């Protein structure tokens, strides 16, 4: 574990120091907003990651039994980003017997030690009227207000557990802060990395899931990560009995929605002011994601994978989810039929509003998308 810590520290400090070189990196000009992020925001982030590593160390001393936790038949919701994965995840997360990482668990307490400490402090806070809890929730709502129209966030809400990879520097979201890093960009195409590197990343991720189930015994893991479009084969190898729900969306609107949704993050990190660098990178990532998912669906055994079209999920959520669950042999939750068609999204975007490679959409993404539609 010490070697992993040293390597992750090397990654994080390397990205930070490299960012301070003025004008050196495409997509990350050193303006005032970025300086504020680098000199105030990122050091605070690194301090939090250091606390996580202390928690990981204490886990190995006091809670090493987590390593014996079996992850039986997990359910992975993967797919094209901005294709309804969050709605699907939060719908199934309400089903008794499932457990997903909440935002506070993924970001603030990936270790067992941290969770136990936070729950102890929360109990003391509740005993005096919960003033700290109210303050934390207020601050979190204020800080996340720009993202709520795009992806509703909340400390108690089920969230993407790939955030547990932040301490080791293998979480793709970091590429928005450091768009010049090839290592971070490559996480969107994990299947292209050397096998030993892929195995190490997936093994750390598996340990994080075991720690979560250690804290939630007797539950079935429900995971949602749209960033895992290129991780499916490795996840299947690590969890041979896993079930996969693959959510897809028409390529033009999916990519447009993604690029539009990244604007607040680019502003927060002071990166890629005009969005051109991000558009080029994500067009490439999306092309790979569509093709990889189409191949994964084709190669997977019947009953292990179900494809869900976002257009159908919006119009007939109950029927669409029921069909997918039946295909994968998963239990149908009570109250599913009460789901209503989704209201119009508050997130507005124009497919032609970004500089994307339309030939790549036409010749790479659309054929893969149509192949997955036919496979249902």
Assign 3-class secondary structure to 127-172: HCCCHHHHHHHHHHHHHCHHHCCCCCCCCCCECCHHHHHHHHCCCC
Mean pLDDT to the nearest integer, 305-312: 96
Does residue 148 register a pLDDT over 70? no
State the average pLDDT for the chain.
90
Grouping H, G, I as helix, E, B as strand and the rest as coil, residue 223 is strand
Q: Which among 291, 277, 254 is positioned nearest to 355, based on CA atoms?
A: 277
* Cα within 13 Å of Cα(136), Cβ side: 13
Sorting pLDDT into bands at 50, 70 and 90, what band is 150? very low
pLDDT confidence of residue 3:
83
Grouping H, G, I as helix, E, B as strand and the rest as coil, residue 307 is strand
pTM over 0.85: yes
Mean pLDDT to the nearest integer, 230-238: 96
Is-contact 247 308, C-beta < 8 A? Answer: yes
Render pLDDT for 24-54 as a digit per residue (tens, 0 to 9).
Answer: 677 888 889 999 999 999 999 999 999 999 9
**Location of structure tokens 């709520």:** 148
Sorting pLDDT into bands at 50, 70 and 90, what band is 343? low
Distance CA 52, CA 49 (A): 5
Does residue 57 register a pLDDT over 90? yes
Look at 289 and 144; give whichever has higher pLDDT. Answer: 289
């Amino acid at each position: 574990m010490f070697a992993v810590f040293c390597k992750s520290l090397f990654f994080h400090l390397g990205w930070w120091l490299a960012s301070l070189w003025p004008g050196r990196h495409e997509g990350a000009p050193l303006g005032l907003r970025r300086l504020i992020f680098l000199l105030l925001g990122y050091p605070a982030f690194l301090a939090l990651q250091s606390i996580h590593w202390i928690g990981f160390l204490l886990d190995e001393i006091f809670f090493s039994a987590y390593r014996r936790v079996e992850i039986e038949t997990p359910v992975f919701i993967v797919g094209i980003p901005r294709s309804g994965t969050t709605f699907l995840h939060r719908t199934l997360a309400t089903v008794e017997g499932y457990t997903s990482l909440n935002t506070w668990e993924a970001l603030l307490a990936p270790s067992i030690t941290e969770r136990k400490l936070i729950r102890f402090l929360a109990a003391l806070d509740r005993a005096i009227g919960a003033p700290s809890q109210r303050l934390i929730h207020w601050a979190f709502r204020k800080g996340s207000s720009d993202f709520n129209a795009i992806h509703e966030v909340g400390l108690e809400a089920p969230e993407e557990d790939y955030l547990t990879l932040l301490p080791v520097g293998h979480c793709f979201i970091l590429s928005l802060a450091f768009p010049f890093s090839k290592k971070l960009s490559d996480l969107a195409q994990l299947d292209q990395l050397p096998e030993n590197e892929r195995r190490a990343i997936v093994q750390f991720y598996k340990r994080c899931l075991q720690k979560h189930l250690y804290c939630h015994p007797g539950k079935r893991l429900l995971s949602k990560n749209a960033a895992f479009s290129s991780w499916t084969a490795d996840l299947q190898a690590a969890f041979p009995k896993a079930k996969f729900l693959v959510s897809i969306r028409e390529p033009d609107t999916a990519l447009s929605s993604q690029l539009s949704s990244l604007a607040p993050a680019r502003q927060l990190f002071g990166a890629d002011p005009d969005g051109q660098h991000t558009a080029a990178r994500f067009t490439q990532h999306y092309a790979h994601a569509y093709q990889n998912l189409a191949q994964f669906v084709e190669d997977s055994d019947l009953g292990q994978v179900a494809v869900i079209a976002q257009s159908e999920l919006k119009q007939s959520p109950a029927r669409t989810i029921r069909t997918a669950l039946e295909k994968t042999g998963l239990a149908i939750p009570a109250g599913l039929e009460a789901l209503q068609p989704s209201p119009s999204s508050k997130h507005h975007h124009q497919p032609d509003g970004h500089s994307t490679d339309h030939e790549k959409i036409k010749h790479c993404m659309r054929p893969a998308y149509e192949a997955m539609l036919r496979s249902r």
